[in-house]
Every structure is written in C-alpha cells, then in structure tokens.
Amino acid sequence: MKPKSSAISCRIKIHTIDLNFQNVPEAIASFLIETPKGLILVETGPESCRENLLEGMRTLGFSHDEVEGVFVTHIHLDHAGGAGWWAEQGKQVFVHPKGARHLIDPSRLEESARMIYKDRFDTLWGALRPAPEDKVTTVEDNETVSVAGLDIRALETPGHAFHHHAFAIGDVVLTGDSAGARLPGFDYISVTSAPPQFDLEHTLASIDRLASESFRELYLTHFGKIENAAEHLSDYRNAVELNAEFVRARLAEGMDSESLHVAYEAFNLEQAFRLQVPHHDWGRYQTVNGTAMCADGIRLYWEKKQS
C-alpha cells in the first residue's frame, strides 16, 4: 500500500507508512516525518516488519540513512520491536525512562513474549536486537527534544502501559496506544487494554490530558490520522468507561476468564456492527487489538483493585 502523507505546516510532512503486519492492511503504522533538515521516525513497528518499513520509505523516495532520530511511544513489540536495528545503524532512539533498559537488553521482554506467543513469536515479531546503550536516550514528561530542526514534546500518557509517551508537534500529536485503535473509515474505537499494565484511572487521565491540549489532529499507531481530535478523544473516553464497566459487572456475576473472552468479544462486536463495521473488517480489528487480550487486561485491573 502506498504511504499516505499529510502536511502539518509549510515546513514538515508526516508520512503514514503501513507496515502490512501479517499481511493485514492498516494494522500497524510507522510515521516518517519529513523536515527541511532531515527525517524523523516515530514507531519502528516490529522487527518482522522492518523490510516493509524500509520499502515504504523507498516508495517515498527516502533511505534509512536520512533518518536523524527515532522515537517510540512505548516498548511493546508492535511499536518498538525494531528499535534495536535502528540503534545499530547509529540512529538515536528516544524512549520513556522506564522502557530504556528493555531496548538495551530485550532478553526479559523477549522471554515473557515467547511464553505468550510460543512458536508464533518469530513469525509475529521477529528476533529482537539489543540497542547499543549510547544510542538510547530517555525523555522525561513534558521534555522537548529538537531533532532535524523540529521540536518534539513528550507527554507522559500511562494507562495502556506505565512507560508510555505521546509525542506532540505543535497542534498535532502521535498517540501510540493512548487514544485507542481505530481503522480508517470507521467510527468504532477498540479499547487498547492489553495486560499486564492496563489501568483505568491512568487511561482516563491520559485521555483528559490529550483533550486539554486542544490538538487539531491525532496520529494513531493503529491506525493513521484522525482529523477531529476532540471528538475522537471524547468517544474513546466513553468507550473505555463502557467496556471497563462491562467487565466489572461480569466479574461481579462470577464469570470465569474464558467465558469473559466470549462475552467481551460479543459485546464489542455489537458496538462495531452498530457502527457499520463489516464482518470481514472485524478480523482486522482482532489482529490490531484482540478482544481476548483486552478482556484479560481489564479483568486483571479489577482483580488487583479488589484484592
């Protein structure tokens, strides 16, 4: 798929590159920011998609050598699995302080992921490469970093993960997983509540923080540009509260985790179909943000809350 581009000022362009994860279109995006002084990459995607990313860059007429800096919103493999390779190429990688050590030594991250994905790990994510320590730079909340002549401000946005940043450029923000997952052309927003760090209060606070900044546009890693930022954030806040309450109520009824997987998918299917998501596109949403995984994240949150 041809990368999509958007000019956010007369000086820069944001190119959305579809990584075609698992041959599913518009599941995971990387964003290539073009400035008069060079390129900036936000989100490397998984290592398994590196060739797709490089091909997307070539389609735009660019080489990876032109990239001046790399930013990852958090260290989950669909966002930063390829970061080690970019650091090996001499690119500075900017990340939340709590995520840096896992880029430098990804062994624990890989071990836990292999326990989950087993023999599917390599196909899904590819081999993780350690990033040279001197090529990993931590960024604090509200800190502004200047790369290729562009000021990028980090916004701490926990809830999906405690090591999560959104990156603001003027009145535009690249949200990672802090604003949900929404496929282009649809109004349904999938709640990004993967375990083990999903936290309801932090998620709502992060949404409120993004809303308070009055951004004009959002760029979601899953997937692409949202032009009406305020409306999307309001809708996402409602979706988070609705789905969290659904899981709380089922747990109060004594529902076990396997039954919850079925019930949560059915609940979200109803929401999606009401918003006219065709059945064949539901499978794409499941690839992006599976409901069983998200049900587990919300369940664990409530169980910790009640323990």
- Per-residue pLDDT at 106: 95
Express as a percent the part of the chain with pLDDT over 70: 98
pLDDT band at 307 (very low <50, low <70, confident <90, very high): confident
The stretch 195-216 carries a mean pLDDT of: 97
The stretch 157-162 carries a mean pLDDT of: 97
Residue 25: asked if its preceding bond is cis (omega within 30°), the reply is no
Strand 217-220 with 224-226, pairing: antiparallel
- Per-residue pLDDT at 306: 87
On average, the pLDDT of the chain sits at 96
pLDDT digits (tens, 9 = 90+) for 273-294: 999 999 989 999 999 999 999 9
> In the chain, at which residue ranges do the beta strands (DSSP E only) sit?
4-7, 13-18, 29-35, 38-42, 67-71, 93-95, 136-138, 144-147, 150-156, 165-169, 172-176, 217-220, 224-226
pLDDT digits (tens, 9 = 90+) for 43-66: 999 999 999 999 999 999 999 999
Q: Is the pLDDT of residue 1 over 80?
A: no
pLDDT digits (tens, 9 = 90+) for 8-48: 655 789 999 999 999 999 999 999 999 999 999 999 999 99
- Per-residue pLDDT at 18: 98
- Per-residue pLDDT at 7: 63
Looking at the domain covering 1-156, what would its CATH class be? alpha beta
pLDDT digits (tens, 9 = 90+) for 97-143: 999 999 999 999 999 899 889 999 999 999 999 999 999 999 999 99
pLDDT digits (tens, 9 = 90+) for 239-257: 999 999 999 999 999 999 9
Alpha-carbon distance of 224 to 222, in angstroms, equals 6
Instruction: Find the angle CA(92)-CA(90)-CA(67) to the nearest 5 degrees.
Output: 65
Q: CATH 3.60.15.10 occupies which residues in the chain?
A: 1-156
Q: Is the pLDDT of residue 6 over 80?
A: no
Q: Is the pLDDT of residue 75 over 80?
A: yes
